[in-house]
Structure 1
Amino acid sequence: MTTADPQFEGVYGPYTITEVDRNEVQRYRLALLSTGLALLAGILHCWLLGARWAWVWILPIGTGLGLALLWIHIYLRPLHRALQLFWLTGCLGWGTLLISAGPPHALLTLADQRLWILAIGPLFAALAGIGFKEFFCFQRLEAIGLTLLLPVALLGQLVGLINPHVCLALMAVAAALLVVIALRKFGMDAAADVGDKSVFAYLDGQLSARTS
């Protein structure tokens, strides 16, 4: 912390936004943007070039989302850990699908054998969770769109209410909304993404008191 770091009055006392906080926010925004761009690129790849090699986009999607969940600021640590667990479970599901079906056939297998959605779905549940967090904090319509479209697309495909083409179209809209969310965040002050650090300190104190 330096004397130039801005100070704020929180619910439970004063707090400071440090250079470390600002760096984490910048990294979070970049990770979120890369996730949205990779998801959109993967879907466009499926449409324009076919599904055979579109699986490669899962790598930057998973990496970007994992980094976003590393640098995101969420007051409730159990919720933060739950989103990270969803991400890990989804990554393991994708890995299992790629090994089982073979990378060139993975997405076609996913379309033909809908139960695989249960394996890879948690990755997108984590992404929808970020969308909900962004809506809860900033009330952006694109955030609630992201939160709703991902489960509608995947669950609709899982139960057979929509076909894979409609599922991809809904996910493309969700990816575009994620890109919009990320781009709009770059014009915001870092303090908006960090939130009230006094709440973090209070919750950590409560946790320490319970475990001591």
Structure 2
Amino acid sequence: MTEKSPSLVTSKTLIEPEFEGFYGKYKITLVDQLEVKRYRISVLVCAISFCCGLTQWLAIGPNLAWIWLITMTISLGLALQWIHIYILFLHNALKIFWAVGSLGVLFLLFNIGPQEMLSSIASKPILELFIGPFFMALTGLGFKEFFCFRRPEAIGMTFFIPIALLGHLLGVLSLSSVMSLLFISAILLLIMAVRKFGVDAALDIGDKSVFEYLDNQKTAESSGI
């Protein structure tokens, strides 16, 4: 998938425009357009939650910032449900990372307590392993957006989040440096999310004929054809 729009076959004013793909013609249906809208809204909510959580932490402390982590978790899960990725293995891997990380968040919430959870992670880096998979899924989303659209803010987010978390886990970065990198990542995610609303939905879908071809191949293999 690239940011270059596929060849438009019919007028863009049609509700379900038709395109010429690598494996033939396909339509961007109303369902497709709705999924793209839901994906973009979910990414935007995740970005806003990320920014608000870090801002609240820096302004008044981490005690109540966990609320924003919950909205981040929910919105990222929804975004991964509606994201369009050709390779099913990679799509499922991101979902698994999200699920494991979400379970880690719940474990810490119930075993440490919401008020102390984030401050405990900050003071005991080993606890980061519980929520690390969640941020791996978020990083994967950023990498997908860079790979497909070459957005500079996406590649920035893809690098800064792992550097911040690994630096904290290994003890090679100060907490202030970690927070700075995460805050930059949150701002970049917000910029990316806002910019996506000005892009044609067909670009988020990509070449749908590839999806249809892969589905047909899978069906043929399962039926022994």
TM-score range, shorter chain: over 0.9
Q: What's 1:53 paired with? A: 64
Q: Deviations over 1:144-185 (max 9, x none)?
A: 001111100000100001122211111111011011111111
* Structure 1 vs Structure 2 CA RMSD: 1.0
* Preserved CA contact (<8 Å) 2:15 2:30: no
SS at match of 2:19: strand
The TM-score normalised by the length of structure 2 is 0.91
> 2: distance between equivalents of 1:4 and 1:88?
35
SS at match of 2:62: coil
User: What does 1:55-204 align with in structure 2 at a 5 Å threshold?
Assistant: 55-204=66-215
SS at match of 2:171: coil
Q: What's 2:55 paired with? A: 44
> 2: distance between equivalents of 1:185 and 1:146?
15
> 2: distance between equivalents of 1:131 and 1:205?
29
> 2: distance between equivalents of 1:96 and 1:164?
23
Query: Which ranges of structure 2 fall in alignment gaps of 5 or more residues?
Result: 1-13
> Pick from 20, 28, 33: which aligns with 1:22?
33
SS at match of 2:63: coil
SS at match of 1:37: helix
> Cα 1:54–1:4, aligned 2, differ >3 Å: closer, same or farther?
closer
SS at match of 1:9: strand
Query: Which ranges of structure 1 fall in alignment gaps of 5 or more residues?
Result: none
- Tell me which protein shows more helix as a share of its residues: 1
State the identity as a percent: 48
The TM-score normalised by the length of structure 1 is 0.97
Aligned length: 210
> Pick from 197, 200, 216: which aligns with 1:205?
216
> 2: distance between equivalents of 1:20 and 1:73?
13
